[in-house]
Amino acid sequence: MRKIILVITLLPFMGFAQEGKTIKSIAIPRTELPKPEKEPETATTAPRYSLDKPFEPEKFKFPSKVYEEPKTEEKGMAEQAKSDLNVGKMYAEKMNKANAKAKEGTGDSKEFRRHQYFGDFETESETISLEYRDFGEIDADRVRVWVDGKIIAELVELQGFNKKLLIGLVEGINHIEIEAVNEGALSPNTGEFGFFDEQNRIITKDQWGLSTGFKAKFNINRVPKGTFKKREEAKEKPSN
């Protein structure tokens, strides 16, 4: 009985061994894949973000544009503004300041609290020019000009360069006054003046130092035309 059962159990395996065929294996040749031209991004170049900060991929960011200061073309020598100053004038002004009779911010203020009389002068000109400037510190000194008790220039500010004022003269004595309206930032009011005739010949030239309200005074006598020539001829004519 046991033999019969063993035979029945082995029959399926015996039939499979007889009928089945051996399957041969096929070798598949290895294929080399081309390498990518660009290396994959590493963890260091990958976009970084966090929950606290919005996602901002760095590769989409562009540098902010920097605007350079506009460049201006330099003007040629012919187009440049010319100054009316020259070395001689600058040197003269420097020397005038060094030799000034009344220096601002120094000395006793009582010295300048008085009217200053500069003398009597003659001219044949119907019109004379008054040139004036501040020979000390440019500190907004202002003056007022009077002729025969009448104001002909209400407020004149003194600068470091000469300004000019034309004054018409009557025949005879013309009483001219220059009044210090203020003393600027430094005391006293300092000014340099010059009177010139119609031929630009100097009549007188000097400097003042005045406290507020005080005046520099001049008497200019206008004589008829030809007076100076007659005087010269009279000097040359021999006396009998």
Per-residue pLDDT at 6 exceeds 60: no
Q: How far apart are CA 174 and CA 145, in angstroms?
A: 13
In this structure, are strands 172-180 and 127-133 parallel, antiparallel, or unpaired?
unpaired
Per-residue pLDDT at 18 exceeds 90: no
Amino acid identity of residue 240, one-letter, is: N
Write phi, then psi, for 216 (nearest 5 degrees): -95, 130
Q: What does the pLDDT look like over 166-208, one tens digit per residue?
A: 999 999 999 999 999 999 888 899 999 999 999 999 999 999 9
Q: What does the pLDDT look like over 21-79, one tens digit per residue?
A: 555 556 666 666 666 665 555 544 444 545 555 545 444 444 544 444 444 444 433 33
In this structure, are strands 215-222 and 116-123 parallel, antiparallel, or unpaired?
parallel
Q: What does the pLDDT look like over 114-170, one tens digit per residue?
A: 999 999 999 999 999 999 999 988 989 999 999 999 999 999 999 999 999 999 999
**Burial track 90-99 (b if 16+ CB lie within 10 A, e otherwise):** eeebeeebee
Give the pTM.
0.55
